[in-house]
Chains A and B, each alone.
Chain A
């Protein structure tokens, strides 16, 4: 019986104009955005490869580059917007990246601001979720208003089987659309020779598709619930579209506004003040050593001890500044987390958060890069000291390796478990509501 209901439902959907239009729009947007993002990734990759090859032997200004992420072709996240380069010296560890590849965080950022990313994740978040609403808004209400619900249930069809049949039928259609859209985008990505997925990328991609499926299931269960609750299909569609706008367009904005007001950040002046205060105990010695060092340079003779102490003090200053910057960075993260917690009622926010993590295009990848920059800087300071203690060793010192440790996929799962859980909870809760409402429904 269940099989018959599912089969009938699937056939109904596949024949409907709304499914065909929805699928066509989805495929067109997924393909268009993927082609553009692949081209964009190619340019950034070329820049990155050429940059890393050139700047290996620098000893003072050292340029470190953040590689563009291959999954940004599907989940753009913040990959283009965060800067991709950092220049360190033993005098200074920058607190943020600046822009070389891509367009983010450079002084020209203003010229490109206002343009957000359109990618496969956007297609899932906006286009497919809308299609889900259209597929399911009249699943029950249409049958009730046309009178077929009464007829169907007058046969020997248990109510729960009918609902489960309906649910599964529609769900298979949605998952099929997601699979086709993913396949089209994936073919477009993998048809380029400069793109290769490793095992890590495949796992992440699978997780992302799973996440998308869960996200769409939430909207599906929601649509089904409203469809059971409201008898007139046109009204259930109106309600669903309004909830959709609230969850996808308005909710993320509300979270940010609320977080910015509840959790104020220190001003740049306060940060500077903190940095000055942290270095205060060394200030007198620093000035003295700096004077002796500069006088020595002018005379052409600087003692080894003064030179080393000079580097040590500069490095201490840079390190203390870095600690203040780190603390500020943690406050930024806390504010961001608060914004996301406030708006976590929106499945779109949960989806985005987890998708960026799996695409390695969110803040986590950036933080890992900055941690590696710090580790590199510490080694760089030690190497610079050799200049005065053992010049030969300094000259022979090999280039310091700069390897950003790749995040294991398991870590991404561990970081996003709450997002998965909340999405699963929403889906189950809404389905349970739909189920009970349907069992109690007056079908006449």
Chain B
């Protein structure tokens, strides 16, 4: 077995593919490291400046909650660039996102050059190039017959070939990752803490599991198709399907088949909701004033305030529901794209790197927890927690012959000492939390491996070696 692996690996190491992969790996991972260092330094400085401003301006009307940039973005960026930097929070969990970092929206849409991308696209292709002629090539040259005429079991031979392919990919990958880590370690040593290094190590295992799947796939088609060039073409078709077609069409399919209204349809719902739920209620208050049921200005204002509050709750719910529906749709797109192992790997990588939707969901959970503390604080200081929505309203009427403008209530600023203002802190997920959120993706990658290994081995065992 050792001899087979040694011979196969030596063949790979001497091949053109290997030399090019090694060079490409060093180049791409070095660029990844350099770009990350620059980007993360800026993000971290912005974040620290932002939270310092919040600390200086505690407010009971609204506060800003910022999200700490993930230090492991270099592994899987997970759409962080287009995520909001945080949220405006007003009483009663009224949220509006803070703008995402400014990016040049005129640039072509090219995926981020993170580790996950390099492995997902470039390395998977190279595993195919290393492995596509493992069986068919030897058959074409006639060496397969010769090898198997020696006392070497077929199972052993194919296992040896598989392990050599994996090692052939692991070497340039490890070199590339080390280059990237070295750059980051020298320029930003704080990023490479021990827990983060554990995540990096796990990421490597994950990457190997993903690449192994392409190794098995290549062995399968190399055993099934006698001509190497045809086997390669079939493999590249799968590569395009997995790496581009399935993940990229998932969004459109999800949009088509989920029942979420379009943004325009949603915008159309806002007007009637404001009319019926807010103005409808306040109009009833005005009618009661006209009938003489509410006699003083204070009575009128109190009634209007509670009518506005009820209405605002419904308006807020409209927005929250739409956001949740959109989140559901995005989750559906991700579920559909999981038909591709490239997407599974991407999502597992995001889970390990604490980026992507799971990390964002955790941030919003933290906000919900903080919102309760914030509301309690406001209640203690101001005596009243007022809910709002993105809209404010007013309606004029006359009470006892005097013109009164009934305005939707707005939270009050507490003028006294706010040194005990509660600070927002994000929960720090452990490595195990990351594993838990990526569990299904990791498990599915393993299932793909087992399935393809079974198929590849049985195809090779049955192949006619002549």
Contact = CB atoms under 8 A, between A and B. Distances in A.
A37 interface: yes
Given A111-B327, A118-B244, A235 B16 contact: yes
Nearest to A76: B252
Contact of A118 (B20, B24, B249): B249
Interface stretch (B106-114, B149-157, B290-298, B452-460): B106-114
Interface residues of A, number: 81
A36 B249 contact: yes
B28 A110 contact: no
B83 interface: yes
A124 to B, nearest CB: 13
Interface stretch (A190-198, A201-209, A239-247, A431-439): A239-247
A339 B107 contact: yes
B55 interface: no
Interface string B33-56: 001001000000000000000000
Nearest to B350: A114
B110 A130 contact: no
A91 interface: no
Contacts of A108: 263, 323, 326
Contacts of A340: 108
Contacts of A253: 110-111, 113
B82 interface: yes
Interface stretch (B167-175, B229-237, B378-386, B433-441): B229-237
Interface in B100-136: 100, 102, 104-111, 113, 121-122, 125, 129, 133
A249 interface: yes
Interface stretch (A98-106, A160-168, A385-393): A98-106
A213 B338 CA distance: 34
A116 B117 CA distance: 13
Interface in B230-261: 230, 232-234, 236-237, 240, 244-245, 247-253, 255-256
A21 B234 contact: yes
A29 B265 CA distance: 31
Contacts of A81: 109
A376 interface: no
Contact of B82 (A33, A40, A110): A110
Contacts, number: 177
Interface in A315-362: 329, 332-333, 335-336, 339-340, 349, 352
Given A107-B97, A108-B323, A138-B229, A113 B79 contact: yes
Query: Interface centre among A37, A106, A111, by most B CB within 10 Å?
Result: A111
Contact of B330 (A40, A112, A246): A112
B107 A116 contact: no
> Main secondary structure on chain A at its contact with chain B?
helix
Nearest to A101: B264
> Taking each of A18, A40, A118, A122, which has the highest tally of chain B beta carbons within 10 Å of its own beta carbon?
A118
Nearest to B32: A257
B330 A107 contact: no
Contact of A103 (B105, B250, B263): B263
A286 to B, nearest CB: 24
A85 B264 CA distance: 9
A50 interface: yes
Contact of A47 (B16, B228, B247, B262): B262
B40 to A, nearest CB: 14
Contacts of B111: 114, 116, 253
Contact of A238 (B17, B38, B323): B17
A335 B102 CA distance: 14
B16 A96 contact: no
Nearest to A230: B16
Given A101-B263, A113-B82, A241-B129, A335 B107 contact: yes
B267 interface: yes
Contacts of B137: 234
A174 interface: no
Contacts of B82: 109-110, 113
A237 B229 contact: yes
Interface string A25-44: 10001001100110110011
A179 interface: no
Given A118-B244, A127-B240, A134-B233, A333 B106 contact: yes
Interface in B198-255: 227-230, 232-234, 236-237, 240, 244-245, 247-253, 255
B185 interface: no
A22 B17 CA distance: 23
Contact of A33 (B28, B84, B249, B323): B249
Nearest to B263: A100
Contacts of A102: 263
A52 to B, nearest CB: 11
A17 B109 contact: no
B19 to A, nearest CB: 10
Contacts of B15: 238
Contacts of A241: 125, 129
A117 to B, nearest CB: 7
Contacts of A33: 245, 249
A115 B342 CA distance: 13
Contacts of A105: 105
A17 B111 CA distance: 33
Contacts of B262: 43-44, 47, 100-101
A116 B133 CA distance: 32
A37 B16 CA distance: 40
A170 interface: no
A261 B37 CA distance: 13
A37 B248 contact: no
A169 interface: no
Given A21-B234, A252-B108, A118 B263 contact: no
B333 interface: yes
Given A111-B326, A363-B106, 6 more contacts: A29-B245, A43-B262, A110-B79, A115-B252, A126-B244, A253-B113
**Closest 4 pairs between A and B when the two form their complex, measured CB to CB:** A115-B251, A111-B330, A113-B79, A47-B264
